[in-house]
Structure 1
């Protein structure tokens, strides 16, 4: 062809090789030998043409794909950030809460996908609040129930100290032992009540 290189010698190797066009251009060639017809088929392409083709491919294919990929990644990052913003807000609210605060969470607007999580957290907070309320109520009731038995034990102990003879002392000790046994039963009742169902309250216990 008219654009074929002016060569001082043909390529000597079958396959790919690099040749010089009398110092004008570098060529990348490929030689295939046809044994049946005893022919050498030689094709080549100038390096500058190849470089221009590669540059065009990069400009029209690689660069647009690269820019498109970067834009897509940025869009995905923004979408994920927007979608996770309610979770970040929830984390900030929880971090800023007082340790004793058990008020329900109110996040608005909230995506429908996160509403079950908020409801579950509010149920958990409500359960914790119920447990703490029951514990406070139990402690108050237990203190009220124990006040009279402890006062009676104190009276019996005081009688032991003030006994005038051995008979009075033994009698006061017997009352003291009986009072201790009754108080022990009352404590056991209170402990049993503490293990009952959450909504169970303290029954009317017999005071000593």
Structure 2
């Protein structure tokens, strides 16, 4: 069931029907008891009224012995039957329609008896003065019919009222859900470029959290799209610079007849190609990490295996910088809670940054304390403000002269999230960037590493 209106209607209607059924059952039982009590009281009052008429016992007895007909009592209520019996068991009088047999066994009080196939409810009054027994009764069928008519008079209007209430509930729930339809219409009428807050009149308090979350979602989407626009503009600018250099130096190489100038132009072309290749690779890495990420709880990778793969890829850069890259045994044994591809991307960018921004003929080290790993170099490193700023794409260190697009650290941060994070630290021998679990405190001091641990 997907309709909220139908679901609410059925819930409210079911609750109302249950309450109504319980109330109806209580009304029927209570009314039945009240009717039975009223009818019994009527029998009792009728019997006492007949007894108070003061019939002459001797006269009626003589009339009965002489063969005269019994005294006919006035029919004051056609629903009741009355008999008057003497102490000797003679029928002294009866109402019209009363049965011929005695209606009770003569004991005072209420009793029920089958007479000619009909069940009777009878009250017997015994007069203390003359011993007359006045029996007044009505049939159980008449009582049941009276109670049934009374219940019908109560239940039929209540049922009609219940149906009318169901109709009103259906209309009322529809009106109550109208703010949701207005919100849906407001969202549906928007253009894809419109991320402004919703404008919906008379929003109930219960829907205010929904509209607030939608507005916050629009705000986040607006920030994301703005970031994408800046990213694309920066990427286009970064791509345009080496491509323009390529074209310029290619034209120089084609037109010049000076061998030295041609060689320099070709060298510049090679550098531009390397820069463009690195930029394209970084853009692809960043797009890959932002578009698809395996949850950290479902992935792990060996840092040693990732290191071997990265060193093979960066072999030309290591040779060009005349540097050495070493890894300790603890780092080689470390297993990161990251997908292998994400670990390779993060480690490659960290080592590449260390090689490019550190001095030539220096050493880059990768070590671990068992909770994370660090990449050390002998370079000057970054200031605290610069390290935070460079987590954004296309942000460079203003004090660095090394080539780059400003994507490296943002790629690393994206590849590590959400399981791990970056920590930057200036140390005595240079600078190190550590990759730590997201909830782990940053190391407070440099840990001494035995050179024999590195291979």
TM over 0.5: yes
Give the alignment partner of residue 205 of structure 2, picking from 112, 119, 127. Answer: 112
Deviation at 1:143, TM superposition (A): 2.0
What is the SS of the residue equivalent to 2:118?
strand
2:236 aligns to what?
Answer: 143
2:188 aligns to what?
Answer: 95
Listed as ranges, the matches of 1:25-44 within 5 Å are 42-43=117-118
Deviation at 1:94, TM superposition (A): 1.4
Structure whose residues are more often helix by fraction: 1
What is the SS of the residue equivalent to 1:100?
coil
Q: Deviations over 1:159-184 (max 9, x none)?
A: 34335488765554333222200222
Deviation at 1:102, TM superposition (A): 0.9
1:141 and 1:156 mapped to 2: Cα distance? 23
2:168 aligns to what?
Answer: 75
Q: Deviations over 1:114-137 (max 9, x none)?
A: 110000000111111000000111
TM-score normalised by structure 2 residue count = 0.32
Give the alignment partner of residue 62 of structure 1, picking from 155, 163, 166. Answer: 155
1:70 and 1:175 mapped to 2: Cα distance? 88
Determine if contact 1:156/1:175 at 8 Å carries over to the other structure: yes
Give the alignment partner of residue 272 of structure 2, picking from 156, 161, 179. Answer: 179
Deviation at 1:191, TM superposition (A): 5.8
The gaps in structure 2 that reach 5 residues or longer are 1-80, 82-96, 100-113, 120-138, 291-387, 398-402, 406-455
- Please tell me whether Structure 1 or Structure 2 has the larger radius of gyration of its CA atoms: 2
Give the alignment partner of residue 224 of structure 2, picking from 94, 106, 131. Answer: 131
Size of the alignment, in residue pairs?
Answer: 174
Deviation at 1:142, TM superposition (A): 2.0
Give the alignment partner of residue 250 of structure 2, picking from 150, 157, 168. Answer: 157
Determine if contact 1:190/1:202 at 8 Å carries over to the other structure: no
What is the SS of the residue equivalent to 2:392?
coil
2:394 aligns to what?
Answer: 202
Sort the Cα spacing of 1:101 and 1:117 in 2 relative to 1 into closer, same or farther, 3 A: same
Deviation at 1:105, TM superposition (A): 0.7
1:79 and 1:136 mapped to 2: Cα distance? 47
Q: Which moved more, 1:171-180 or 1:159-168?
A: 159-168
Deviation at 1:186, TM superposition (A): 3.5
The gaps in structure 1 that reach 5 residues or longer are 5-31, 33-39
Structure whose residues are more often strand by fraction: 2
Deviation at 1:64, TM superposition (A): 0.7
Q: Deviations over 1:76-124 (max 9, x none)?
A: 2233122211111111111211222111112232111111000000011
The structure showing larger relative contact order (alpha-carbon pairs under 8 Å, at least 6 residues apart) is 1
Determine if contact 1:148/1:207 at 8 Å carries over to the other structure: no
Determine if contact 2:186/2:200 at 8 Å carries over to the other structure: no
Determine if contact 1:156/1:172 at 8 Å carries over to the other structure: yes
